[in-house]
A = this chain, B = another copy of it.
Amino acid sequence: MVNRIFIILAAIGIPASVIGALFDWPTVMMFIVYCLTIVALAGFIGRATESLAIVMGPRIGGLLNATFGNAVELIISFFSLKAGLIGIVLASLTGSVLGNLLLVAGLSFFVGGLKFKRQSFSVTDARHNAGLLIFAIIVAFVIPEVFSQTLSDKKTLTLSIGVSIVLIILYLAALFFKLVTHRGVYQNSEEEVEQEEQEEEIPEWSSKKAIIILALATITVAYISEKLVHTFQVVGETFGWSELFIGIIIVAIVGNAAEHASAVLMAYKNKMDVAVEIAIGSTLQVAMFVAPVLVLLSFMFATPMALVFTWPELIGMITAVLLVIMISIDGDTNWFEGLVLLSAYVIMGIGFYLL
């Protein structure tokens, strides 16, 4: 069902994007067309990545998921950087973190909880993720911000580069840990390992088809993203939205919509391990991979980007991390815990809207 909607959206959205750009259709309308088309294409990228991952086996598959999982966001942010919209890039990183931690995890717990009284997922994974969340958000994002207040701009950039390199190395080490040295070490039983491997066996598409779709969809997303970025200013002025709000709510939702849908679906099927992996794993990808890569890439352009968020962004992320850790650390969820996360998202949403 969702897949069919995406096919229709793409079939209409891609030509509309090209034609609209040629004939100068109204900016706000084109903004909507671009957003919907990217949501659909992100869906295709997700499915292609998953198919390839199955064919390639768990190790390379994990690596593929880890890099292409946030491809759309990376692309939009790349063109935003090129256009010098650093505020929007940082805001969309914040939005991704808040969206994944509060909206996606919240909806998953809530919707899943309406069907099942209690749902559970691996406590070990929850703890592993909690440690990394604290490292990435509370150590690696907070230190540059606090130190930047006494550092010169140039030294702040140096610190940002250092932090980014450490984050990327640790991200790769985490993959190595999970896929090589400690694969299955923390699983409860051999059964689970086997079961997991069996479940993942049949890819949706052949690897040839998957690679072609992945390539085409990624190129098209890049093409549309560049256009999308240039509509932000007009859209912001039209609706009275700040750069921050566009980045945090709009870009983050567009970049992650397809993923969000599948997390909630998994929760509804009581596959909480997968739902949590999408929500929290995706947050870690953004914080430990997308963010530092963007910092390093930004040095290609006129205005390099320091890893320095605004205080509201940083406090939003810190409090979200503490809340999610406390809610998820026991590996047990219910509708109320989902509602708590969603309530936090609403509070922050109001705050960023008013800013």
A residues at B contact (CB < 8 Å): 117-118, 127, 130-132, 134-135, 138-140, 142-144, 146-147, 149-151, 155, 158-159, 162-163, 166, 169-170, 173-174, 177, 181-182, 185, 311-312, 315-316, 319-320, 322-323, 325-327, 329-330, 334-337, 339-340, 343-344, 346-348, 350-351, 354-355
B-chain residues with CB within 8 Å of residue A159 when the two chains form the complex: 350-351, 354
Is A343 in contact with B135, judged by CB distance below 8 angstroms?
yes
25 A-B residue pairs with CB within 8 Å? A117-B182, A117-B185, A127-B330, A130-B326, A131-B327, A134-B319, A140-B344, A142-B315, A142-B319, A143-B315, A143-B316, A144-B351, A146-B311, A147-B312, A147-B351, A150-B355, A158-B350, A158-B354, A159-B354, A166-B343, A166-B346, A169-B343, A170-B340, A177-B335, A177-B336
A158 to B352, CA, bound (A): 12
Task: Report if A134-B347 is in contact (Cβ < 8 Å); known contacts: A315-B142, A334-B177.
Answer: no
Across-interface contacts of A181 in B (CB, < 8 A): 117, 335-336
Task: Write out the residue numbers on chain B whose beta carbons fall within 8 Å of the beta carbon of A346.
Answer: 162, 166
Within 8 Å by CB of A354, from B155, B170, B177, lies: B155
Say whether B127 contacts A343, CB under 8 Å.
no
**Interface residue SS majority, chain A:** helix
Across-interface contacts of A170 in B (CB, < 8 A): 339-340, 343
Q: Determine whether the beta carbon of B326 is less than 8 Å from that of A143.
A: no
CB distance from A24 to the nearest CB of B (A): 36
Q: What CA separation (Å) do A143 and B134 show in the bound complex?
A: 19
Please name all residues of chain B whose beta carbon is closer than 8 Å to the beta carbon of A158 when the two chains form the complex. 350, 354
Given A151-B355, A185-B118, A354-B147, A140 contacting B347 (CB threshold 8 A): yes
CA of A318 to CA of B327, assembled, Å: 17
Query: Would B325 and A326 count as touching, CB distance under 8 A?
Result: yes
Q: Are B336 and A173 interface neighbours, CB within 8 A?
A: yes
